[in-house]
Structure 1
Amino acid sequence: MMDVCLLGTGGMMPMPSRFLTSMMVRINGRMMMVDCGEGTQVTMKMLGWGFKSIDVICITHFHADHISGLPGLLLTIGNSGREEPLTIIGPQGLGYIIEGMRRICPELPFPLELIELNREMKNPIVISEFHISHCPVDHMVKCYAYRVDLPRIGKFDTQKATDLGLPRSLWGHLQKVGSVEHEGKEYTSDMVLGDARQGVAVTYCTDSRPVDKLISFAKNTDLFICEGMYGDDAKKNKAKENKHMLFSEAATLAQRSGAKELWLTHFSPALSEPEEFLPVAQKIFENTRLGEERLTKTLVFPKE
């Protein structure tokens, strides 16, 4: 299963009741996050998942409300006792940005491994428990949406194991470890598994106009977390000018992608009552809800 938490829902600046947009994903006790604006550590502390087990941080783009909290977070992760490498993924120029930020957090007890994205880089990138895909979107600066998949292997096929002559006493070990040696020959789990089964996935997009490539990128995702900077359709010209989305545009993407659920996030500071415009999105995609600070959901494999 996969735990997903929306740490904050604000765009541009943190507010007393609204932290900046960020997402946490937890699988088997390991964690990844997307974006880390000013004050993100506060809402993380309130969530209570800890800091030490964060294995990867993905950055959508280099505007301050999505990255300015990173130096402090890295120091906190270091103070938690982490020594294992931590990976940071982001657009090209990430190395330059991190170099500048490291001037105020120069001594970390763990190494940083940086991955700068480009259009030729294949999906997914596998780090720890996370299968991370990226998709370029349309903002004022280079920006990426992210998708995290938790694949599910096929069922153990007892007939295949029997046909291979593997004794039953080795079946459990083969399932857990992935390989086993028997009578001088190595057997791997793919030799005894059926077809892969349906997994679970979450897709996260902020700071973009609605582009067609997001439809295929978020296809059949269990949870689509998407920006709704403006609720009122009358703000469309402003959304186009600033390269953001309306509630209705996010809902249309969710509907066309076949997503199971949509959470709206990245609200404008001027949008004090986003609930007023929720029906606009729900008219297009019924299973839409407003993001809330530390809204959490556990995605489980579908029943067979």
Structure 2
Amino acid sequence: MLDICLLGTCGMMPLPNRWLSCALVRNGSSLVLFDCGEGTQVPWKTLGWGFRQLGAICLSHMHADHVAGLPGVLFMVAHAGRTEPLAIYGPAGTAYVIEGLRRIAPDLPFPIHIHELKGGETFTLPGGLEATCTQANHGIPCLAYRVDLARRPEFQADKARALGLPVQLWKRLQHGETLEYDGKVFTPEQVLGEPRRGLSLAYITDTRPTPALSKLASDVDLLICESMYDTRDDLPMAHANGHMISEESAGIAKAAQAHALVLTHFSPKITDPSQAEKAARRIFPNTRAARDGLVVTLDFS
């Protein structure tokens, strides 16, 4: 099961009733944060998921509304008692910015490991999440991310019994271990069923639409996508600033055959995101405009 909270939904600057766009993903006791604008720790504290279990941060790009909240979050994680390493992923230039921000957060009880990605790379996040990224089109190095949680095949007890395996060995095979018993070698494939669909989400922000983004989000259960602007009148501004209108976000979801779309990163001028939702639904019906604090749960059912 994956829980995803849209801590903030605003682009460019925080507003009195809307924090900057970012998403927190929980898998069991592990947390992964996507982007970290100014004040991120405030809605996170309200959410109540805790800070100590934050194991990784994935940054889309190095604009202030996506990274300026890092010192505050790092202090909260330190205050919560974390001593294990924290990984930070981002595009080229991430290390330079993080090292600068660390000047006001110099003494942390945990090491920070910075990974600069080029796009197309895969990596493992806490909680057994497999991630990949691709280049976005924002005029500066910018990444979109995809996260997958695999689901184990169903354990088939009748096969285990037919092989004469004692019950106490079943769990080891169920968890992927090859073992030897009674002079014979047994593999998980002998007692497991067919592969099963896992869970997946994509996080796409601050970009013009590209075919690579639809490919990244192919068949995801949840696509979290920016909607900086909500009308076609804003299309020239979207082109100029490297953003999208809601209909373009919906176009990515449709091309990707995503299962659900959540819009976020709304311009401060958008006071009613429901208009963006309405426009997007004309292209991709299963669309929701996020409000700060929205929690979406993905489960295997």
* Short-chain TM bin: over 0.9
Bigger shift: 23-32 or 151-160? 151-160
Q: State the Cα distance separating 1:187 from its structure 2 match.
A: 4.6
Shift of 1:167: 2.3
Conserved in 2, the CA contact under 8 Å of 1:28 and 1:129? Answer: no
Tell me, in whole angstroms, the C-alpha distance in 1 between the residues paired with 2:115 and 2:41.
23
Deviation, 1:169, is 2.9
Structure-2 separation of matches of 1:223 and 1:33: 16
Code of the residue aligned with 1:131 in structure 2: it is E
Q: Does 1:147 align with 2:146?
A: yes
**Which residue of 2 is the match for residue 45 of structure 1?**
45
Residue type matched to 2:44 in 1? M
8 Å contact 2:52–2:80 — kept in the other structure?
Answer: yes
Query: Deviation of residue 281 (structure 1)?
Result: 1.0
Q: Which whole-Å CA distance do the structure 2 matches of 1:169 and 1:275 have between them?
A: 55
Bigger drift between 57-66 and 157-166 goes to 157-166
Match of 2:32 in 1: 32
Match in the other structure for 1:129? 128
Matched, 1:290 2:268: no
| 1:122-169 deviation line (CA, Å, top 9, x unaligned) | x24344432111111100211011111111121123455356553233
Secondary structure of 1:161's counterpart equals: helix
Letter of the 1:50 counterpart: G
Encode CA deviations 1:49-98: one digit per residue, 9 max, x unaligned.
01000111000000000000001111110110011111111112222221
Task: Pick which of 201-210 and 96-105 moved more.
Answer: 96-105
CA distance in 2, matches of 1:252, 1:127: 31
CA distance in 1, matches of 2:176, 2:252: 40
Question: For residue 13 of structure 1, what is the aligned residue in structure 2?
Answer: 13
Give the AA of the match of 2:230.
G
* Other structure's SS at 1:204 match: strand
Is 1:92 the counterpart of 2:107? The answer is: no
- One-letter amino acid matched to 1:144: L
Q: Tell me, which stretches of 5 or more residues in structure 2 are unaligned?
A: none
Counterpart amino acid of residue 50 in structure 2: G
Residue correspondence of structure 1 range 1-304 to structure 2 within 5 A = 1-119=1-119, 121=121, 123-158=122-157, 160-162=159-161, 165-176=164-175, 178-183=177-182, 187-302=186-301
> How far off is 1:227 after superposition?
0.5
Listed one character per residue, the Cα deviations across residues 172-214 of structure 1 (whole Å, up to 9, x for unaligned) are 3432574545346665535532332001111111100011111
Identity %: 45
Q: Which letter does structure 2 place at the counterpart of 1:66? A: H
TM-score, normalising length from structure 1? 0.93
In the alignment, the residues of structure 1 paired with residue 127 and residue 118 of structure 2 have an alpha-carbon distance, to the nearest angstrom, of 21
Q: CA deviation at 1:257?
A: 0.9
Cα distance in 2, alignment partners of residues 177 and 82 from structure 1: 30
Unaligned 5+ segments in structure 1 are: none
Mapped partners of 2:67, 2:125: distance in 1: 22
Describe the shift of the 1:186–1:48 C-alpha distance in structure 2 as closer, same or farther (beyond 3 A).
Answer: farther
Question: What secondary structure sits across from 2:11 in the alignment?
Answer: coil
Give the Cα–Cα distance (whole angstroms) in 2 for the partners of residues 148 and 31 of structure 1.
13
- Of 149-158 and 237-246, deviating more is 149-158
Greater Cα offset, 268-277 or 174-183: 174-183
Amino acid at match of 1:276: Q
| Alpha-carbon displacement from aligned partner over 1:3-41 (angstroms, at most 9, x marks no partner) | 111111000000001100000111111110100000110
CA distance in 1, matches of 2:79, 2:187: 40
Distance 2:105 2:184 in 1: 51
- Post-superposition, which runs of at least 4 consecutive aligned residues in structure 1 deviate over 4 A? 162-165, 183-188
1:115 Cα deviation after fit: 1.2
Native 8 Å contact 1:262 1:287 kept in 2:
yes
Distance between the aligned counterparts of 2:263 and 2:239, measured in 1? 18
CA contact (8 A) 1:281 1:288 kept: yes
